[in-house]
Amino acid sequence: MGLFSRKTRPSPVEAAPAATSSTLDAIADLARGFGRHAFDLPNETAEKLERRMEDWAKRVVRPDEDGAVEELKLVILRRRQAEKKYVPKALKELKGALMEALASLSEAVGEDVETADRLLTRLSELANAVDTDDLTQLQNRVRSTVEDLSKELERSRQRAERRMVQMGEHVEVLQADLVKAKKKSATDSLTGLYNRSAFDQDFDRISRLIPLTNQPLSVVMVDIDHFKQVNDTYGHPAGDIVIRNTADELVRAYPRKSDYVARYGGEEFVVILRDANLDDALKMTERLLDAIRSTPVDCDGTMVEVTCSAGVAQVRRGESTKALLARADAMLYRAKRNGRDRVVVDR
């Protein structure tokens, strides 16, 4: 057991009173040495024992101190008895703690195939050392294993960090793809405007904010006049050009960030104008119709004149989005019945 197995054999105390000076000096040195090699026990610290041993060493060399050597003998014997009880108990507890740590570490590192083989080999060596009673071997093996574990776990941590960075980059790419996919699913492929599905969702969300903002909100329905004749006369590619041109004019006519322009279906468009009353909506829509009317569309060298009709309605207190759209749509068809190329407002 190394240090703990040292057996101190004090000189016979019966001869202490008649002992020579050299013998007493030897006993004094023994006491000092015993104190210096002591370790903490539950009821006695090494520092306290060293002070006691130094005190007794001084007393031993004084001939007038009867019984000093006998007292020293009793202290040493009691100390050795305490060591015999404490050291095996402490060693057993240390072994138990190490075995628990080994089990936990084995389970943890076993999940990382890159470090498992090396670490499990070292842990197995440590487990073998725990099975012995050689404290020196155990101490050396613990120190070596802790150093190796620290290095391997640091390398494992660095690999995990790299994987997390890679995962983060992958997630960012997926998020960007998701945004693109979401935007694509909400966008009309021909015009680049919002499509009908996106409009239905967003208009419902916007309408729920109306009571909170206490601001006017108007809806404009726009339809290309005689669009079927454009397709029949110039072909569907020309019809697509007319639709794209009309979409561009809509974006220019309603330029505010809060203005929402969507292709409602076929040749029909819808616009949500937040913070705009009927007069505001009428002015913007008249500018739109003027721009479309005055700018023929170039369809592969053929200039096609285009006009649009529009209907405008402003939301009423407590009105549903369905009812508001129905009123704007009714104004649109009134404009068509009244000769097209005009805007009608529901006042």
pLDDT 10s digits, 272-311: 999 999 999 999 999 999 999 999 999 989 999 999 999 9
Which pLDDT belongs to residue 69?
67
- Average pLDDT, stretch 92-121? 62
CA distance 45 to 43: 7
pTM: 0.53
Name the band, by pLDDT with cuts 50, 70 and 90, for residue 3: very low
Which pLDDT belongs to residue 139?
67
Instruction: Please report the sign of the dihedral spanned by the C-alpha atoms of residue 71, residue 75, residue 76, residue 77.
Output: positive
* Residue 268 pLDDT greater than 90, yes or no: yes
Calculate the average pLDDT of the chain.
79
Where is mean pLDDT largest: 120-134, 156-170, 209-223, 309-323? 309-323
Which pLDDT belongs to residue 262?
96
Which pLDDT belongs to residue 150?
73
Which pLDDT belongs to residue 226?
95
Pairwise pLDDT comparison (131 vs 157), residue with the higher score:
157
Which token pair is 156? 């494992």
Which token pair is 102? 């080994």
* Residue 111 pLDDT greater than 60, yes or no: no
Which pLDDT belongs to residue 32?
72
Name the band, by pLDDT with cuts 50, 70 and 90, for residue 340: very high
If 0-12 CB within 10 Å is exposed, 13-18 middle and 19+ buried, where does residue 5 land?
exposed
SS3 222: strand
If 0-12 CB within 10 Å is exposed, 13-18 middle and 19+ buried, where does residue 322 land?
exposed
Angle of CA points 337, 321, 280, to nearest 5°: 65
Which pLDDT belongs to residue 83?
73
DSSP state of 12: P
Angle in degrees, 0-180, between the axes of helices 135-185 and 68-109, rounded to the nearest 10: 30
If 0-12 CB within 10 Å is exposed, 13-18 middle and 19+ buried, where does residue 267 land?
buried
Which pLDDT belongs to residue 140?
72
Q: In the chain, pLDDT over 70 holds for what percent of residues?
A: 69
* Residue 35 pLDDT greater than 60, yes or no: yes
Active-site residue list:
267
Nearest to 72 by CA among 15, 10, 19: 10
Name the band, by pLDDT with cuts 50, 70 and 90, for residue 5: very low
Q: In the chain, pLDDT over 90 holds for what percent of residues?
A: 39
Name the band, by pLDDT with cuts 50, 70 and 90, for residue 144: confident
Angle of CA points 96, 97, 103, to nearest 5°: 90
SS3 116: helix
pLDDT digits (tens, 9 = 90+) for 43-77: 777 788 777 777 777 776 665 555 666 777 777 77
Which pLDDT belongs to residue 155?
76
Q: Give the length of the chain.
A: 347
